[in-house]
Chains A and B, each alone.
Chain A
Amino acid sequence: EADIYQTPRYLVIGTGKKITLECSQTMGHDKMYWYQQDPGMELHLIHYSYGVNSTEKGDLSSESTVSRIRTEHFPLTLESARPSHTSQYLCASSEGGPQGGDLEETQYFGPGTRLLVL
């Protein structure tokens, strides 16, 4: 069973507010990911990290930013929330191999954060 945690689970916030979604994993995984998923729609990768001090933008353009100061922690920040940011945000991690390796390890997902921006 994966030990990956996300807080808050639900967040309702007004437009213009700064928010940080927390994600932590206790498995010592090098790779971490943030996905965005609207109801009934597919997952979209918005950020990923191969390790400490490594962050990359994903396939879906996002106004959010991430940081990776510690292996276990990968927070996502929205400087100024807008209604268009309303969605579910899913964090995942994998053990991974060396960057550019052939096989991707299994990704384990956290429970998600449901964000509603009014």
Chain B
Amino acid sequence: QKEVEQNSGPLSVPEGAIASLNCTYSDRGSQSFFWYRQYSGKSPELIMSIYSNGDKEDGRFTAQLNKASQYVSLLIRDSQPSDSATYLCAVTAEYGNKLVFGAGTILRVKS
């Protein structure tokens, strides 16, 4: 079992819809959780970080964390074609000294 699991996709949504990206992790001791966006051929860029159970909103993005279920998600409202990218979930491991990345979910927003 991988430490961080994501559905590889591609997840296709129409423009203006809500895209929902999911991630599960295996280390119950993980404390910090991150969502990165990576365009093809580019390096990852941070979208959001979340540390506490519940929701965290930033513009069109909402991160949701449920530590009991070991589950973190990212919602993208009013999806735009420019949101088409690979979304990487990252979780702390080994007492927070390293991040473990999931393989990423490919999102395609169709206009």
CB-contact partner of B32 in A100, A103, A109, under 8 A: A103
Which of chain B's residues has its CB closest to A4's CB?
B43
Q: How far is the CA of A6 from the CA of B78 in the complex (A)?
A: 34
CB within 8 Å of B: which residues of A? Answer: 41-43, 45, 48, 50, 58-59, 90, 97, 99-104, 106-112
Q: Is the CB of A102 within 8 A of B103?
A: no
Selected contact of A100 from candidates B31, B44, B97, B99, CB within 8 Å = B97
Taking the nearest CB of chain A, how far is it from the CB of B31, in angstroms? 5
For B45, B90, B99, B103, which residue has the most chain A Cβ atoms within 10 angstroms? B99
Complex CA–CA separation, A102 to B101 (angstroms) = 18
What is the size, in residues, of chain B's interface with A at 8 Å between Cβ atoms? 22
A42 touches B101 (CB 8 A): yes
13 chain-A/chain-B pairs, Cβ below 8 angstroms = A41-B103, A42-B88, A48-B98, A100-B97, A101-B96, A103-B31, A103-B92, A104-B98, A106-B46, A106-B49, A109-B44, A110-B43, A111-B42
0/1 per residue, B56-67, Cβ < 8 Å to A? 000000000000
Q: Which residues of B are interface residues toward A (Cβ below 8 A)?
A: 31-32, 34, 42-46, 49, 51, 88, 90, 92, 95-99, 101-104
CB distance from A45 to the nearest CB of B (A): 6
* Residues of A close to B46: CB separation below 8 A: 106-108
When the two chains form their complex, are residues A99 and B88 in contact, meaning their CB atoms are under 8 A apart? no
Q: How far is the CA of A26 from the CA of B7 in the complex (A)?
A: 36
Residues of B within 8 A of A110 (CB): 43
Residue of A nearest to B51 (CB): A103
Given the complex, which residues of B lie within 8 Å of A99, measured CB to CB? 97
Cβ A90 vs Cβ B43 within 8 A: yes
**Which A residues lie within 8 Å of B45 (CB)?**
109
CB neighbours of B96 from chain A (8 A): 97, 100-104
The distance in angstroms between the C-alpha atoms of A100 and B96, with both chains bound, is 7
Interfacial chain B residues near A109, Cβ < 8 Å: 43-45
